[in-house]
Amino acid sequence: MLKQRVITALIVGPLALAGVFLLPSFWFGLALAGAMAIAAQEWAGLASPGRRGVMAAFVPLVFLSCLLFLWLDLELAWGAYPLWAVVPLWVLALMWLARPEARPPVLAKLGFGLFALSGAWLGLYLLQGQSAGPWLLILLFGLVWGADVGAYFAGKAFGCHKLAPRVSPGKTWEGVAGGLALSGLVAVVAVPLLGIEQMVSFVLLCLVAAAISVAGDLVESLLKRQAGIKDSGWLLPGHGGVLDRMDSLLVAAPILVLGLSLMGELS
């Protein structure tokens, strides 16, 4: 399993970095829409297992919603407005995580997925379109991966208080604290590299984005648990599906864009 994870990372990682740094904004958005379509297929499989008709309708809907944003070519001033719709969406998600025995109807899960996937697409697209866009995306990835890696090692070393035992039994509050510590370090290192003027506000924003990214992971875990499925897909050997690698970004990307926009750090 570890060998598969490493080989997949060595192949996918450079391709992702090439897309982030080399692709013009339009082509980056188009490639990202394709990735979101794959994630939509996996989401539909979790929301309504075995119902191919649902998948056949949901995947084009997500893909076309991303293409609509791409066609509109929204600048940050206008593009941030649709992202505000993601905030109450994730508040509802937190409420669901507090009551994991609840089983929302399929339509509600699909509606959630539509907003979450297209919102994440818009957030990532707006970030990449900035003058320092590729590095802002690297910051975002660093925050999410830092939260994940820090949580893994801190959880193994110190974890004893379960975070959400009915959703993801392996996660602990000590792991979350370790993940936030590593994400905070990533944010501090990024301040001089990105020329951030409001250091304290920036680091706090990064910590919020890293903390809330855990919700994306937990929501997907709850979807998988209720569907009785271990991985969202099989496309990335050793890692599962695209959604398994993207779940934390679904909420972290919009939150980071909104926060940086309110701080005036984006143009």
Concatenate the DSSP letters of all residues of 29-91 into one string: HHHHHHHHHHHHHHHHHHHSTT-HHHHHHHHHHHHHHHHHHHHHT--HHHHHHHHTTHHHHHH
| Per-residue model confidence (pLDDT) at position 28 | 93
3-state SS class at 163? strand
3-state SS class at 224? helix
Closest C-alpha among 121, 115, 260 to residue 198? 260
What tokens appear for 167 in the block? 């959703």
Per-residue pLDDT tens digits for 44-78: 999 888 777 888 899 999 999 999 988 887 766 66
Q: What predicted TM-score, i.e. pTM, was given to this entire model?
A: 0.92
The alpha-carbon radius of gyration of the chain (Å, integer) is 18
| Per-residue model confidence (pLDDT) at position 241 | 74
Query: How far apart are the C-alpha atoms of 264 and 128, rounded to whole Å?
Result: 16
Give residue 84's region: left, alpha or beta (phi > 0; psi -120 to 50): alpha
Report, as ranges of residue numbers, the positions in the chain whose pLDDT lies below 50.
2, 238
| Per-residue model confidence (pLDDT) at position 2 | 46
Per-residue pLDDT tens digits for 1-39: 545 655 666 676 778 787 888 889 899 999 999 999 999
| Per-residue model confidence (pLDDT) at position 116 | 94
In degrees and rounded to multiples of 5, residue 104 shows phi and psi of -60, 155
